[in-house]
């Protein structure tokens, strides 16, 4: 699905000028805001890795379906960062308790857990993912 930003690049950005970091963060924030406020319904079809900003994309969509083989992680803490830009969308999707656990611990989790905590609406067999998306869209 989306492995998020390159964490090594993000770590190097710490040495970039403040204005560069601010402008980059604002562009990313505008992307998530546009997705969140899209006048058309948005559906995330999640398969494979869904890490960092990718998880934010899922949280900002109206409906999210995942293949049972999908893997999720808020991995920013591994390099000393907080997922601040995606934070509001993740908090809204999974709540404060689950967000605290996964934002602070950078612990990977599977599609069943993503469904249990409310990040995705359904976790389905990978072979059934397209049919599940078609059903929701219809």
HSE of 74 in the Cβ direction (CA atoms, 13 Å)? 27
Q: Got the DSSP string for 29-75?
A: HHHHHHHHT-SS--EEEE-SEEETHHHHHHHHSSEEEEETT-EEE-G
Catalytic residue among 8, 19, 33, 76: 76
**Active-site residue 126, yes or no?**
no
Q: Which residues are catalytic?
A: 76
């Amino acid at each position: 699905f989306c492995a998020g930003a390159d964490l090594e690049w993000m770590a190097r950005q710490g040495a970039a000028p403040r204005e560069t970091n601010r402008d980059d963060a604002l562009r990313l924030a505008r992307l998530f805001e546009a997705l969140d406020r899209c006048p058309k319904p948005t559906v995330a079809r999640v398969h494979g890795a869904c890490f960092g900003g990718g998880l934010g994309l899922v949280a900002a969509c109206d409906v999210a379906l995942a293949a049972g083989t999908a893997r999720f992680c808020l991995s920013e803490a591994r390099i000393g960062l907080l997922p601040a830009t995606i934070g509001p969308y993740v908090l809204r999707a999974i709540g404060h308790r689950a967000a605290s656990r996964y934002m602070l611990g950078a612990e990977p989790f599977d599609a069943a857990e993503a469904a249990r905590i409310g990040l995705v609406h359904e976790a389905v067999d990978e072979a059934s993912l397209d049919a599940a998306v078609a059903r929701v869209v219809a």
